Amino acid sequence: MCGIIGLTHAVQSAHDVYRGLLMLQHRGQDSAGILSWDAATGMFHSKKQLGKVADVFTATDLDRLKGAMALGHTRYSTIGDVKESDLQPIAGVMPIGIGLVHNGNLSNYAALKQSLLAKGRAFLSDNDLEVILHLMSGAFVSSPTAPLGERLIEAARTVMQRAEGGYSVIGILPGLGLFGFRDPHGIRPLIIGERDEADGRKSYAFASEDAALGFVGYRRVRDVAPGELVWVPSVGDEAEELHSRSLVPRGGLPCMFEWIYFSSADANLESVPVYETRLRLGQLLGARVGAALDPSTIDVVSAVPETSRISAIALAETLQRPYREVLIKNRYVQRSFILNGQDKRQVAVSMKFSVVDSVIAGKTVLLVDDSIVRGTTSRKLVQLLRQHGAARVYLASSCPPIRHPCLYGIDFPDRKDLVAAGRPLDAVAQALDADGVFYTTLADLETALGRPFCAACLTGEYAYGAAA
């Protein structure tokens, strides 16, 4: 999972991209990068580095990243380790200049890379975006005399026809402008924004979340549709306009995890607000807990900070039980789920929370989390609450049981790592050391979202075919 943003027309777009990246930091903390295109000199400029956005860029860097078009990226590694060569954005200069960022994962990455290697292509990284760059470059070679816009359409169509998985891409094509596209099922998000510039013209941007666009002054226009390419010619003094082409639409199946966990609470995806969805999930989960347990036996409802708080408060209201803050988060430790590697996660959990003893001593606590993936955090937290005096600890998850790997960009690829895989609920509770565990059902999730979505990690039914 990553955060991406691209925009054009500002005098120095890198400054706005930087501000947008700050609003996308929660989508990945491994690295940050910006690539700009300076039409005056015909140069790409870039800086990308391991670390968080505010640590990677100085004001001097942003001044050096000249140009009216720029792309930004915050990385959370799925394919490839966290190493310098895998960082984004990336740029190619043969057979044509092109700059790219992406969010997602190609489930047929290995096969595509092998077929490209067999044709004599070479790679600089283990990043699946480099496969997309090769596919696009190959399509540009095959139609060297066609207008640039037509060649871009063929390049994006080639990617959508050959690359399986969840991916959203933003790119700069010097000589044409800025573009963005989503995979045929629209698994990863991509939003278009527009802004009125001081000279009376409009400019456009793409980003993973509309909250990031709003932060830099763009109004939400709409989501890029599944299998759609959108581009903004922005060369010379011509007014910018949105152009679009539906290339390989296969029915939208956006990742349900965006609403449950990843996206910012103030984001709107596919016109479904994240905040309202989390509220509704809490209400529905509350009804399920109330049907299974006498609510009066629960003394305190609390949340695992931060993303589950909205659902936890709604759940407490539904059960008419008091909501209290029990876990106090050390905000300077990274989110444990986003840290890759089990060892790092274990360390992060123990460093991350302290407990308000007075609220839980001798009490029955219902702790709400947005999801239970490996169970690492949940088990540690249950034990922590017991150590601090809780008499009983129940867990509730606003995501249904995750029993299958995600092939499309979320880091739970191995079934054996998933605590709910192959276990009935009482065995999950036992594995988590909890007195009971409650989950939102798939039907409740369908009610809360009110639209089709990818649920492959819940059902094992994959948009692009069976798990390898």
Chain residues binding ligand SF4 by CB under 6 A are 166, 187, 255-257, 406, 408, 410, 454-457
| Closer residue to ligand SF4 in complex, CB, 355/467 | 467
Q: How far is the CB of 336 from ligand SF4 (least distance, A)?
A: 17
**Can you say whether the dihedral through the CA atoms of 248, 169, 179, 148 is positive or negative?**
negative
- Which region, left, alpha or beta, applies to residue 177 given φ > 0 means left and ψ of -120 to 50 means alpha? left
| Closer residue to ligand SF4 in complex, CB, 356/442 | 442
| Closer residue to ligand SF4 in complex, CB, 269/319 | 269
Beta bridge partners of 234: none
**What is the rounded CA–CA span in Å between residue 399 and residue 95?**
46
Query: Between 274-292 and 442-449, two packed helices, what is the crossing angle to 10 degrees?
Result: 150
Q: Are strands 392-397 and 364-369 parallel, antiparallel or unpaired?
A: parallel
| Closer residue to ligand SF4 in complex, CB, 353/408 | 408
327: tokens are 């876990």
Mention every residue, 6+ apart, whose C-beta is less than 8 A from residue 68. 8, 9, 10, 11, 13, 37, 39, 234
Q: Could you list the active site residues? A: 2
| Closer residue to ligand SF4 in complex, CB, 9/404 | 404
Q: How far is the CB of 402 from ligand SF4 (least distance, A)?
A: 7
Q: How far is the CB of 412 from ligand SF4 (least distance, A)?
A: 7
| Closer residue to ligand SF4 in complex, CB, 18/257 | 257
Q: Which residue type occupies 156? A: A
Alpha helix stretches (DSSP H) within 323-452:
342-352, 357-360, 376-387, 425-431, 442-449
- Please count the CA atoms within 13 angstroms of the CA of 373 that sit on its side-chain side: 18
Q: How far is the CB of 261 from ligand SF4 (least distance, A)?
A: 9
Q: How far is the CB of 258 from ligand SF4 (least distance, A)?
A: 7
Q: Is 466 exposed, middle or buried (0-12, 13-18, 19+ CB in 10 A)?
A: exposed
Q: How far is the CB of 100 from ligand SF4 (least distance, A)?
A: 21
